[in-house]
């Protein structure tokens, strides 16, 4: 199926853009699969026809010890058929992040041996893992009434469960509407502005999401433990956490290509329902049941980390703003549909162009490149204190005030950096010239 | 720091070992253990990693001894530069001793005990005097274009007879005679009659300042009315002038009952009277207190932070000051109208508005040196606070507002801090308009309270002369100028922003919490990489590279010339040969040095979870759920 030179596909396929759509994601999957000891993980095509899980891609990475039949069984035990799959492999210590939907324990405490076996297969002998449930305990308990639930300690003794509270659906949407509304009001006094900013709760959501992502990253990197992350469906808050944890942990995801791959893998392939979530944005009058700025919150969190580590990202703020715009309305097919299955049915690969093929052209890339970027191989731990979080002015105040002076300052900064490069090059050139002249002189003088 | 070290080694008053320094925000008890030293001027903590924390006694705002805990006696010290440190001293007696010493050391009763009088930066008398002469206000008025045909230097206050708290040299309208000045001063609170603060040469308009008139409900003063008329006549461009009362209307009206008040438009010809509603020092003081309480909270939630920010009113006050300054600048820039500014006594809000207004109008004040001049002019020379309730009869306003001496705490107020914050907001909106950077503002704020230099000590010009500050202490400005590199804005210089009248946008969302001021010492809250520093260093590097290129080019030229000459004389050879290997060595050294510079610049500060207060996340681990085995060992591992 996916034959051909791995890792170079995007660059080679400049002219036949159409088939690029899901290649970066697959490539990443395969890269991960190939970089992991073969004895532990394998690529499974159990979902090739989208029959086992409609929101998963055809190929997913699972523990080697679990066969496809077991996966089918586990799928019936997880919300939306979203059985635990590999999301991220931490090369440093071999620990992993997995994600899934909630277990369907229901009120009578159903269990699924295969599910337990699957996630236990990811643990090293004697090691414990963490399950991060993005819902508060009481919400998770209530979910049992509707057939959902959470992993019982008795059945998962090697796992420690942590509940966080990341909001979802209309609560986030209301938050966005309130925030945008108050940003648009130029006349309000200071007290009103601050109280509306507070009442929107937007930055509270940012803090919750970032804190959970840091917790996940900490489990992995500091505790040396593998983790499983899920909420209810495993298509929203779960993806925010898994993708942000990777931004924190994995230097590659802070590069442009790496970030594109992350979006492909953790958002598009992982089945975040873009069509449902990003249909209307902030100015919709009618209540849209599925509308929710989950992806925007993720981008905002990335921006917060970018603000704190301005040299550790290859892309700049404009890149994030561009992604935000295309997620809501785009001439490209990338963000259409709710999952891979729908995108296949819509034949998007044949009928539309990929956003990445456009973005990755040098002329576009230059707009999105951070001039201060210097590869940083460390784990970057952001501060989540309220004093460290800021309103993303580039998004929310963009149309409400002139950014002329800020833009000019940015240009000046770019100029200084460019000038520095030129000067360095020139100095090196002159030094070489001088050295050549000196050796010539030496040759002349020595006889 | 080297300087301090010399001093404290000479006088180590006392030291206590095994003291713990707690992380201010940590919810777990993360701490550093080290030794606490007390010197004549500083408190010093050296932790196990030999990292030093210096706290000047003058910076200490409050010392608090908390209830004894199992690990020792907690001591919380809050500083005027918004540093908060939390020590745990193992023995209660030691703690008590430190507490008492600090209480005494931090509150000086006499000017002579202030640090500035003992501070010795090893300069000779000539250098010291030169330092004091660096900023010359007469020169500054000349720069503005006064004296001229409409404005003159008045000698009325040469012996401080008319107004004790004004400087000797005052500029007034040429047509205002001495009797008019004397008459007007009698009608103004504390004798602070209208004088020139800033003259806008091309608009021929002036910013004047004074205190409130003693008008009560109906009193008039013909001389005062004449003086105001003289000010408006001194402006040929616009015969109307604005009178800005920077107080809220209610406050001004209340003052009438005490025989004070504001100008009645009916009595003064050609004035437009305007209230701008900046709150008084007491409101400002409690506002800042609330702000500090909120942002000092452990485990602060986003909602508490913003509701605290709102209820403190701090940003509202900042916006009010800014709006007033914009009103002032617009009157001058757009209408060429002169403006007279006052509040009650004309040394708090008036100074804020006059200095900010000038800063908006005149790009000179946005340079490093110009900013020093502005502070000297509007804050130091005109400023004063007479405080009957204080122990000392005449307390200089900055001294009082910043609590240099042990006085009435009700007189302490962050007026100057607000001024600096307004300037910071301007630098955020106009990143290329200021020659200086944030560090410059923070450094000035540091020294407003440090009493290390003589600038901010003493009482008006009169008392400063009596204290012989210029003989006994040093001026801050030359030290800042020597260190100028640190305070330069690398982006300064876009012509459009550099020369223009600044018109800031004061829609509420433009005002942000100034983290670097109020959390200057809480490094973990700061971004881990600073774009600013990188660009600043790169700018420096560029200058060096430009020089290198010139050197290299001239060397290459020299070489080439020699080669074309073909035959080299023996002497020339000898003079060049020994030089070149050395040169080569320095060059290659530079080449090596250049590249790592970037790496050093971009090193990430404090990017380890231990520094990052991830205890917030780690709490998750310590909150053991009933059914789950406790992860105590996990916590221990995570915090170490």
> Which residue positions in chain B have pLDDT lower than 50?
1-10, 384, 386-398, 567-568, 570-608, 610-640
Tokens of A413: 């900064």
Query: How many alpha carbons lie under 13 Å from residue B28 in its C-beta half-sphere?
Result: 24
Domain identity same for B187 and B38 = no
Q: Is B280 annotated as a binding residue?
A: yes
Does B411 fall in a domain?
yes
Give the model's pLDDT for residue B400. Answer: 59
| Alpha-carbon distances of B340 from B156, B208, B501, rounded to whole Å | 20, 5, 20
CB within 8 Å: A401 and B573: no
Does A176 fall in a domain?
yes
B535 vs B489: CA distance, rounded Å: 9
Residue A444: pLDDT band (50, 70, 90) is low
Cβ atoms of B30 and B615 within 8 Å: the answer is yes
Give the model's pLDDT for residue A227. Answer: 94
Residue from the list A198, A218, A374 with its beta carbon closest to the beta carbon of B602:
A374
Domain identity same for A28 and A101 = no
Domain identity same for B141 and B10 = no
Best of A383, A392, A412, A413 to disrupt the B interface by mutation (most B CBs within 10 Å)?
A383
How many CB atoms are closer than 10 A to CB B551?
16
Residue from the list A189, A376, A381 with its beta carbon closest to the beta carbon of B614:
A381
Q: Which of B523, B548, B573 is the last residue of a domain?
A: B523
CB within 8 Å: A308 and B527: yes
Domain identity same for B133 and B98 = no
Q: Residues A285-340: pLDDT tens digits?
A: 667 778 899 999 999 999 999 999 999 999 999 999 999 999 988 888 899 889 98
The domain tally of chain A equals 2
Q: Which domain holds residue A19?
A: 1-37
Q: Residues A202-256: pLDDT tens digits?
A: 999 999 999 999 999 999 998 899 999 999 999 999 999 999 999 999 999 999 9
Q: Is B349 annotated as a binding residue?
A: yes
Q: Residues A6-54: pLDDT tens digits?
A: 333 333 333 333 343 444 444 454 454 444 445 688 899 999 889 999 9
End-to-end CA gap in chain B = 29
Which residue of chain A has the CA closest to B566?
A444
pTM of the model: 0.87
Domain identity same for A125 and A26 = no
Q: Is B383 annotated as a binding residue?
A: no
Does A134 fall in a domain?
yes
Does B619 fall in a domain?
no
In chain A, which residues have their Cβ closer than 8 Å to the Cβ of B304?
386
Does A432 fall in a domain?
no
B354 vs B383: CA distance, rounded Å: 12
Residue from the list A194, A378, A431 with its beta carbon closest to the beta carbon of B587:
A431
Q: Is B14 annotated as a binding residue?
A: no
Domain identity same for A27 and A45 = no
Q: Which helix (H) or strand (E) holds B221?
A: none
Q: What's B154's DSSP letter?
A: E
Q: Residues A326-384: pLDDT tens digits?
A: 998 888 889 988 998 998 888 888 888 889 989 998 899 999 999 999 888 999 999 99
CB within 8 Å: A427 and B535: no
Tokens of B421: 């914050």
Domain identity same for A70 and A176 = yes
The domain tally of chain B equals 2
CB within 8 Å: B432 and A409: yes
Domain identity same for A342 and A369 = yes
Domain identity same for A325 and A277 = yes
CB within 8 Å: B302 and A203: yes
Query: How many alpha carbons lie under 13 Å from residue B244 in its C-beta half-sphere?
Result: 31
Does B536 fall in a domain?
no
Q: Which of A391, A426, A442 is the last residue of a domain?
A: A391
B235 vs B221: CA distance, rounded Å: 22
Tokens of B335: 């209408």
How close is the nearest chain A Cα to the Cα of B93, in Å?
36
Give the model's pLDDT for residue B407. Answer: 64
Does A344 fall in a domain?
yes
Domain identity same for B9 and B152 = no
3-state SS, one letter per residue, for chain A: CCCCCCCCHHHHCCCCHHHHCCHHHHHHHHHHHHHCCCCCEEEECCCCCCCCCCCCCCCEEEECCCCHHHHHHHHHHEHHHCCCEEEEEECCCCEEEEECCCECCCCCCCCCHHHHHHHHCCCCCCCCEEEEECCCHHHHHHHHHHCCCCCCCCCCCCEEEEECCCCCHHHHHHHHHHHHHHHHCCCCCHHHHHHHHHHHCHHHHHHHHHHHHHHHHHHHHCCCCCEEEECCCCCCHHHHHHHHHHHHHCHHHHCHHHHHHHHHHHHHHCCCCHHHHCCCCCCCCCCCCCCCCHHHHHHHHHHHHHHHCCCCCCECHHHHHHHHHHHHCCCCCCCCCCCHHHHHHCCHHHHCCCHHHHHCCHHHHHHHECCCCCCCCCCCCCCCCHHHCCCCHHHHCCCCCCCHHHHHHHHHHHHHHHHHHHHHHHHHHHHHHHHHHHHHHHHHHCC
Q: Residues A269-299: pLDDT tens digits?
A: 999 999 888 877 777 766 777 889 999 999 9
CB within 8 Å: B607 and A402: no
Domain identity same for B504 and B440 = yes
Residue from the list B430, B493, B541 with its beta carbon closest to the beta carbon of A420:
B541
Q: Residues A127-161: pLDDT tens digits?
A: 889 999 999 999 999 999 999 999 998 999 999 99
Does A400 fall in a domain?
no
Domain identity same for A6 and A75 = no
Residues, chain B, total? 640
CB within 8 Å: A408 and B497: yes
Give the model's pLDDT for residue B4. Answer: 45
Best of B434, B509, B576 to disrupt the A interface by mutation (most A CBs within 10 Å)?
B509
Cβ atoms of B233 and B217 within 8 Å: the answer is no
Please report the residues numbered 404 through 443 in chain B whose beta carbons come closer than 8 angstroms to any beta carbon of chain A.
Answer: 429-433
Strands A60-63 and A41-44: antiparallel
Give the model's pLDDT for residue B530. Answer: 85
Give the model's pLDDT for residue B53. Answer: 87
How many CB atoms are closer than 10 A to CB B640?
7
Say what the ipTM of the complex is.
Answer: 0.88
Which residue of chain A has the CA closest to B639?
A222
For residue A295, give the nearest of A228, A346, A239, A345 by alpha carbon.
A239
Domain identity same for A234 and A330 = yes
Does B625 fall in a domain?
no
CB within 8 Å: B563 and A420: no
Compute φ and ψ for B43, nearest 5 degrees: -105, 135
Average pLDDT, chain B: 81
Domain identity same for A164 and A22 = no
Domain identity same for B226 and B330 = yes
Domain identity same for B373 and B483 = yes
Q: Which of B76, B107, B138 is the last residue of a domain?
A: B107
Residue from the list A195, A201, A441 with its beta carbon closest to the beta carbon of B559:
A441
Domain identity same for B375 and B477 = yes
Best of B488, B504, B602, B628 to disrupt the A interface by mutation (most A CBs within 10 Å)?
B602
| Alpha-carbon distances of B244 from A394, A399, B377, rounded to whole Å | 37, 34, 20
- DSSP, collapsed to helix, strand or coil, labels residue B327 as helix
Tell me the angle at which helices A256-263 and A317-328 cross, rounded to the nearest 10 degrees. 30
Give the model's pLDDT for residue B401. Answer: 65
For residue B245, give the nearest of B218, B263, B227, B269 by alpha carbon.
B263
CB within 8 Å: A423 and B546: yes
CA-based angle A297:A334:A241, to the nearest 5? 30
Q: Which domain holds residue B458?
A: 126-523
Residues, chain A, total? 447
Does B101 fall in a domain?
yes
Residue A267 clears pLDDT 80, i.e. is over it: yes
Give the model's pLDDT for residue B241. Answer: 93
Counting one residue from chain A and one from chain B, the pairs whose CB atoms sit within 8 A come to 227
CB within 8 Å: A308 and B490: no
CB within 8 Å: B510 and A419: no
- DSSP, collapsed to helix, strand or coil, labels residue B79 as strand
In chain A, which residues have their Cβ closer than 8 Å to the Cβ of B307?
194-195, 198
Q: Is B31 annotated as a binding residue?
A: no
Does B137 fall in a domain?
yes
Give the model's pLDDT for residue B457. Answer: 80
Give the model's pLDDT for residue B609. Answer: 52
Cβ atoms of A63 and A118 within 8 Å: the answer is yes
Does B578 fall in a domain?
no
Domain identity same for A83 and A32 = no
Residue B343 bears catalytic tag: yes
CB within 8 Å: A409 and B573: no
Please report the residues numbered 276 through 315 in chain B whose beta carbons come closer than 8 angstroms to any beta carbon of chain A.
Answer: 295, 300-307, 309-310, 313, 315
B328 vs B361: CA distance, rounded Å: 9
Does A237 fall in a domain?
yes
Find the catalytic residue in B210, B221, B343, B422: B343
Q: Which of B508, B523, B538 is the last residue of a domain?
A: B523
Does A413 fall in a domain?
no
- Residue B567 near chain A (CB below 8 Å): no
Cβ atoms of B386 and B165 within 8 Å: the answer is yes
Which CATH number goes with the domain that contains B100?
2.30.29.30
A75 vs B534: CA distance, rounded Å: 51
Best of B529, B583, B599, B628 to disrupt the A interface by mutation (most A CBs within 10 Å)?
B529
Domain identity same for B514 and B384 = yes
Average pLDDT, chain A: 86
Domain identity same for B163 and B79 = no
- Residue B564 near chain A (CB below 8 Å): no
Domain identity same for B47 and B136 = no
End-to-end CA gap in chain A = 69
How many CB atoms are closer than 10 A to CB B490?
21
Domain identity same for A4 and A83 = no
Give the model's pLDDT for residue A402. Answer: 84
Domain identity same for B382 and B502 = yes
Does B39 fall in a domain?
yes
Does A434 fall in a domain?
no
Residue from the list A161, A215, A405 with its beta carbon closest to the beta carbon of B617:
A215
CA-based angle A395:A398:A403, to the nearest 5? 125
Domain identity same for A76 and A97 = yes
Q: Is B132 annotated as a binding residue?
A: no
How close is the nearest chain B Cα to the Cα of A318, in Å?
17
Q: Is B407 annotated as a binding residue?
A: no
In B145-280, which residue ranges form alpha helices assigned H by DSSP?
178-186, 222-233, 249-256
């Amino acid at each position: 199926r996916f034959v051909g030179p791995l890792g170079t596909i995007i660059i080679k396929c400049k002219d036949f853009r159409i088939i690029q759509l899901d290649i970066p994601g697959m490539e990443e999957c395969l890269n991960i699969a190939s970089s992991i000891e073969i004895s532990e993980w394998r690529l499974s095509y159990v979902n090739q026809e989208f029959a086992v899980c409609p929101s998963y891609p055809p190929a997913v990475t699972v523990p080697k010890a679990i066969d496809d039949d077991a996966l089918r069984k586990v799928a019936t035990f997880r919300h939306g058929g979203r059985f635990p799959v590999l999301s991220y492999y931490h090369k440093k210590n071999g620990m992993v992040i997995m994600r899934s939907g909630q277990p369907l324990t229901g009120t009578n405490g159903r269990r699924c041996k295969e599910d337990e076996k699957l996630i236990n297969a990811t643990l090293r002998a004697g090691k414990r893992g963490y399950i991060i449930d993005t819902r508060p305990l009481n919400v998770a308990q209530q979910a049992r009434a509707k057939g959902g639930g959470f992993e019982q300690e008795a059945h998962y003794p090697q796992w420690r469960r942590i509940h966080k509270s990341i909001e979802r659906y209309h609560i986030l949407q209301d938050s966005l509407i309130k925030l945008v509304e108050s940003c648009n009001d130029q006349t309000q006094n200071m007290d009103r502005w601050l109280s509306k900013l507070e009442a929107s709760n937007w930055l509270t959501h940012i803090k919750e999401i970032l804190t959970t992502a840091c917790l996940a990253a900490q489990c992995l990197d500091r505790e040396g433990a593998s983790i499983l992350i899920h909420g209810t469906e495993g298509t929203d808050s779960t993806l925010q956490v898994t993708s942000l944890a990777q931004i924190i942990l994995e230097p590659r995801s802070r590069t442009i290509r790496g970030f594109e791959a992350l979006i492909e893998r953790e958002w598009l392939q992982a089945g975040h329902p873009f069509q449902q979530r990003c249909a209307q944005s902030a100015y919709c009058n009618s209540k849209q049941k599925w509308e929710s700025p989950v992806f925007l919150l993720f981008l905002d969190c990335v921006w917060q980390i970018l603000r704190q580590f301005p040299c550790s990202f290859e892309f700049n703020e404009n890149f994030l703003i561009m992604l935000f715009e295309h997620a809501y309305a785009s001439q490209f097919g990338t963000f259409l549909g709710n999952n891979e299955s729908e995108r296949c049915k819509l034949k998007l690969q044949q009928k539309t162009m990929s956003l990445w093929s456009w973005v990755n052209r040098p002329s576009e890339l230059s707009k999105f490149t951070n001039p201060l970027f210097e590869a940083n191989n460390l784990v970057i731990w952001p501060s989540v204190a309220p004093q460290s979080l800021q309103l993303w002015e580039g998004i929310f105040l963009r149309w409400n005030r002139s950014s002329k002076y800020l833009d000019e300052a940015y240009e000046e900064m770019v100029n200084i950096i460019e000038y520095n490069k030129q000067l360095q090059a020139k100095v090196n050139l002159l030094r070489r010239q001088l050295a050549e002249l000196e050796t010539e002189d030496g040759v002349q003088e020595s006889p | 720091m080297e300087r301090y070290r010399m001093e404290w080694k000479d006088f180590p008053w006392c030291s206590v070992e095994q003291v713990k320094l707690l992380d201010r925000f940590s919810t777990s008890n993360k701490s550093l253990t080290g030794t606490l030293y007390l010197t004549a001027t500083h408190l010093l903590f050296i932790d196990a990693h030999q990292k030093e924390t210096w706290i000047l006694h003058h910076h200490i705002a409050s010392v608090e001894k908390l209830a004894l805990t199992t690990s020792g006696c907690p001591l919380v010290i809050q500083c005027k530069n918004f540093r908060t440190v939390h020590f745990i001293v193992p023995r209660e007696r030691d703690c008590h001793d430190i507490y008492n010493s600090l209480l005494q050391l931090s509150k000086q009763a006499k000017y002579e005990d202030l640090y500035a009088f003992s501070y010795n930066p090893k300069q000779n008398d000539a250098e010291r005097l030169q330092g004091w002469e660096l900023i010359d206000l007469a020169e500054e008025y000349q720069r503005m274009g006064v004296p001229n045909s409409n404005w003159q230097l008045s000698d009325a206050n040469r012996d401080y007879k008319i107004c004790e708290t004004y400087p000797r040299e005052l500029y007034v309208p040429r047509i205002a005679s001495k009797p008019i000045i004397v008459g007007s001063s009698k009608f103004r609170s504390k004798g602070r009659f209208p004088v020139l603060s800033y003259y806008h040469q091309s608009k021929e308009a002036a910013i004047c300042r004074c205190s409130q008139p003693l008008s009560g409900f109906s009193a008039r003063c013909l001389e005062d009315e004449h003086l105001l008329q003289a000010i408006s006549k001194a402006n040929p461009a616009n015969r109307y002038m604005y009178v800005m009362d920077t107080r809220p209307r209610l406050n001004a009206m209340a003052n009438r009952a005490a025989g004070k008040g504001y100008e009645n438009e009916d009595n003064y010809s050609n004035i437009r009277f305007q209230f701008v509603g900046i709150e008084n020092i007491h409101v400002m003081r409690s506002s800042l207190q609330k702000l500090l309480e909120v942002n000092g909270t452990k485990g602060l939630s986003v909602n508490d932070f913003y509701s605290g920010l709102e209820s403190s009113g701090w940003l509202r006050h900042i916006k009010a000051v800014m709006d007033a300054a914009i009103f002032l600048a617009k009157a001058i820039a757009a209408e060429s109208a002169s403006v007279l500014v006052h509040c009650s006594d004309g040394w708090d809000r008036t100074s804020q508005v006059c200095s900010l207004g000038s800063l908006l109008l005149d790009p000179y004040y946005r340079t490093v040196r110009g900013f020093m001049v502005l502070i000297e002019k509007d804050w130091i020379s005109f400023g004063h606070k007479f405080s009957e309730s204080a122990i000392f009869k005449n307390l200089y306003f900055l001294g009082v507002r910043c609590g240099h001496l042990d006085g009435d705490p009700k007189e302490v107020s962050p007026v100057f801090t607000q001024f600096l914050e307004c300037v910071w907001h301007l630098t955020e909106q106009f990143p290329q308009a200021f020659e200086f950077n944030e560090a410059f503002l923070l450094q000035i704020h540091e020294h407003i309270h440090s009493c290390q230099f003589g600038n901010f000590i003493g009482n008006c010009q009169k008392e400063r002369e009596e204290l012989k500050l210029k003989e006994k202490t040093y001026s801050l400005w030359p030290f800042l100028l020597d260190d100028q590199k640190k305070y330069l804005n690398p982006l300064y210089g876009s012509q459009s922003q550099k020369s223009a009248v600044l018109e800031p946008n004061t829609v509420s969302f433009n005002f942000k919490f100034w983290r670097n001021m109020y959390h200057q010492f809480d490094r973990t809250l700061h971004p881990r990489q600073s774009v600013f520093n990188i660009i600043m260093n790169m700018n420096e590097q560029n200058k060096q590279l430009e020089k290198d290129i010139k050197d290299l080019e001239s060397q290459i030229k020299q070489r080439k010339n020699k080669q074309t000459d073909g035959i080299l004389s023996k002497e020339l050879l000898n003079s060049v040969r020994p030089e070149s290997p050395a040169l080569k060595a320095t060059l290659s050294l530079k080449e090596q040095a250049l590249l790592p510079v970037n790496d050093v610049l971009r090193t990430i500060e404090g990017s380890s979870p231990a520094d990052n207060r991830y205890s917030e996340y780690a709490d998750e681990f310590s909150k053991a759920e009933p059914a789950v085995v406790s992860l105590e060992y996990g916590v221990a591992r995570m915090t170490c």
